[in-house]
Copies of this chain bind each other. A is one copy, B any other.
Amino acid sequence: MPLISSGSKGVFVISATPFTESGALDLASADSLTDHYVAKGADGLTILGMMGEAPKLTQAESRAFAARVIGRLPDLPVVVGVSAPGQAAIGELSKAVMDMGAAGVMVAPPGSLSTNESIEAYYAQVVETIGPDVPLVLQDFPLATNVAISNGTLGRIFEAHPSIVMLKHEDWPGLSKISALRDAEAAGRRRTSILCGNGGLFLPEEMARGADGAMTGFCFPEMMTDVVRLMTAGETERAHDVFEAYLPLVRYEQQPGVGLAVRKHVFASQGIIADARIRSPGAPLSPQAVAEVETIIRRQAARLAHLS
């Protein structure tokens, strides 16, 4: 089973968690969704993140889902979100999924942290809890966590804990942070992998600033794999062409509370998952929103046809 490292690159798709029409975990759809991500070029998967409705799953469901996805991808890295209010739950789930073959775990800071020092102490606790051998992704997502982490704080955390090999970069605005992180590495700080979130809304710029790829869940993963590949190959203009073809939908999907419904709608309408259901709290797309998404996708298809 592969582990993530500070050299990890490419696109780790944040996987949705499919449910049946009755609201139960849909493991058959989990299989087909996983296969779809791989077919579109995913270099890895991240499961049980915020967009994976992790907090709405019971602990038994979380483990069942993780086991299914990890089991289906023996050769690809699967990162598992294990954020929880207490270290006991973080430790328990981390151990379980690493035993299943996960490539690493991801932890976002709890909203109660309010100073650089408290954030540093928190990640020290996490590393102590899960052990220094488990590859850890630090999720830096202030818009959701309400915790801002400065470049200096990230640096001290990275230096103190070599097992933190990756940053899920989701600060907003965050382009200058990527530059600051890479500048610090150029000046001697240990390198970490940086994969970017925010639905891919700034992916070309993020790659140009030094990101290693994306870790987010836009519903056409081929946009992300194409843009990352093209930017890596130096085909900047072509990368922007592809990105802009998808941008109206990327933008639409970025609406908080609407984005996940868009993703599941797109997957369900393509037959990739059986049902677009979101667990409560959470609402399906309204008919007007469905019409808007369909207009956007129709125009997107036309642009893509024109591109190729």
Residues of A within 8 A of B (CB): 23, 53, 55-59, 61, 84-89, 92, 110, 112, 114-118, 122, 125, 129, 142, 148-150, 152-153, 172-173, 175-176, 179, 201-202, 205, 208-209, 240, 244, 247-248, 251-252, 255-258, 279-281, 286, 288-289, 292, 295, 299
Nearest CB on B from A142, distance (A): 7
Copy count, this protein chain: 4
Nearest CB on B from A233, distance (A): 18
Q: Closest chain B residue to A128 by CB distance?
A: B280
Interface of A (DSSP majority class): helix
Are A56 and B89 neighbours in the complex by a CB distance under 8 Å? yes
Are B56 and A86 neighbours in the complex by a CB distance under 8 Å? yes
Are A258 and B116 neighbours in the complex by a CB distance under 8 Å? no
Q: Closest chain B residue to A240 by CB distance?
A: B299
Q: Which residues of B contact A288 (CB under 8 A)?
A: 175-176, 179, 209
Nearest CB on B from A170, distance (A): 13
Are B175 and A257 neighbours in the complex by a CB distance under 8 Å? no
In angstroms, Cα B109 to Cα A115, docked, is: 14
In angstroms, Cα B23 to Cα A174, docked, is: 27
Nearest CB on B from A167, distance (A): 16
